[in-house]
Amino acid sequence: MKSIINYIKKKYPERPAIGVVLGSGLDAFCQKLDSQVNISYNDIPNFRKASVKGHKGEFALGKLHNQNIVCANGRFHYYEGYQYEDVAIIIDILKGLGCELIIMTNASGCVVKEWKVGDLMLINGHLDYSFIKSNNKPSIISDGWYDSDLLSKVTEIASEININLRRGIYTWTTGPSYETAAEIKEIKQLGGHAVGMSGLPEIERIHNLNMKMIGLCCLTNYASGISGVELTHSEVVEKAQNSQEAFIRILDAIIKKY
């Protein structure tokens, strides 16, 4: 881990206070950074290769609104075969680089019929629907995990820039296949609003490392059984790309005000 962090620090010596983990199809945000340094995961000695389509697999470091930012453009998923504890290595790296705040983003399925595909959702609680740690029915975790001041601040920022930011419970499923309609029905009953295959191991690591976190989901499709349309990964990436404009605006505004 130390050698990975030192390798990045050598290429970009300034300390980034904010780390952004970018989900599938959400990489255009990196282009906003000035004096940008890009480090491919493939070029970092002893590091992993990113293998999921729609993920470039690089760190992009640079400045935005006079702050040093690091974007992880590409993350690792449990379904790629990593141990639960190893999925969140990106967070350990961002912490090692000096980040205090992590903005977690991902592409998610929308469980709420009344919301629109392309909406953004701020995470204010989560459900672990992976059944890795327990076979019990999952219940919503929120107390002590999602900072209410940060949630209010982000909601305020969104309304200032006219973004209809939803708020809700993110549900983690292991993937790689999309959920069945029956699973989505249950997730809805349990209180979930969005469902995705990344994030929870990372959210947990951020929590355990006492870092600040903002979680944003880009709702790229209706979850299985909500609209009757079949899901594909290429469609998810395409829809994520379509809602990048709002996504970039909100990230930009959060970083400006932080």
Residues that bind ligand HPA (CB under 6 A): 107-109, 173, 178-179, 195-197, 220-221, 223, 231, 236
Q: What are the φ and ψ backbone dihedral angles of 118, each rounded to 5 degrees? A: 105, -15
User: What DSSP character marks residue 115?
Assistant: S
CB atoms within 10 A of CB 49: 11
Ranges of H-type helices in 80-137: 89-97
Structure tokens at 7: 């390798």
**DSSP letter, residue 66:** T
Output DSSP code: residue 65: T
Nearer to ligand HPA, 31 or 177 (CB): 177
Residue 23 and residue 240 in contact, taking contact as beta carbons nearer than 8 Å:
yes
Q: For residues 125 and 196, which CB has a smaller minimum distance to ligand HPA in the complex?
A: 196
Q: How far apart are CA 20 and CA 42, in angstroms?
A: 19
Which CB sits closer to ligand HPA, 95 or 188? 188
Q: Taking a C-beta distance cutoff of 8 angstroms, is the pair 172, 131 a contact?
A: no
CA angle at 163 for the pair 157 and 168, rounded to the nearest 5° = 85
Residue nearest to ligand HPA (CB): 109
Residue 184 CB, nearest approach to ligand HPA (Å): 8
For the bound state, the minimum distance from the C-beta of residue 20 to ligand HPA, rounded and expressed in Å, comes to: 18
Give least dist CB 59 to ligand HPA, A. 23
Least gap, CB of 4 to ligand HPA (angstroms): 27
For the chain, what's the residue count? 258
Between 97 and 219, CB nearer to ligand HPA: 219
Longest Cα pair distance anywhere in the chain, in angstroms? 50
Instruction: Confirm if 217 and 105 have CB atoms less than 8 A apart.
Output: yes
| Nearest distance in Å: CB 193, ligand HPA | 12
Q: How far is the CB of 169 from ligand HPA (least distance, A)?
A: 14
- Nearer Cβ to ligand HPA, position 179 or 204? 179
Between residues 73 and 221, which has the closer beta carbon with respect to ligand HPA? 221
Q: Which of 212, 167, 164 is nearest to 20 (CA)?
A: 212
Q: Is 35 left (phi over 0), alpha (psi -120 to 50) or beta?
A: left
State the nearest-atom distance from the C-beta of 87 to ligand HPA, in Å.
15
Measured from the CB atom, the residue of 105 and 220 that comes closer to ligand HPA is 220
